Amino acid sequence: QELRAEPAFVLAAVGKDGDALRHTSFVLRGDRDVVLAAVSNAGSALQHAAPALRRDAGVVRAAVAQDGLALFFADQELRRDRETALIALASNGGAADFIGSLWEAPGFLEDAMQANGGRDRKLVLAVVRKDGLLLRLAVPDMRADKEVVLAA
């Protein structure tokens, strides 16, 4: 119990297993250094961070760079942030489910497709469903995929 509140111990623990953040004290869940160490190891640890740190662009971008799906746990404002969303999409095309109205932003679809080089099937499907002409930005394997072509 006492170790959960000991900064040096917690920093070492989350550096090895980011999800250990859930077992730390609420005070340390609000410590930026501790949370950065955790999300750099496991992006999903963002869900255990204090709300203020879920609004911190640096912390959220570190989390989504490690695992794009961590975007789900970010503050709504950062979910709508173009740079943060592109980092998340480059890491995991599944983050497409969490970016909301950014799909409508000028040039975003092209940027999203290029974020991971048009390799992520889920992302390619999401993009070509919005604008089929962007299939041209996908890698050859995706352009030959029957489901992707039909979605375009």
| H, E, C per residue of 29-52 | HHCHHHHHHHHHHCHHHHHHCCHH
Q: Where residue 1 falls among pLDDT bands split at 50, 70, 90?
A: low
Residue with tokens 């190891």: 41
Model confidence over 55-79: pLDDT tens digits?
999 999 999 999 999 999 999 999 9
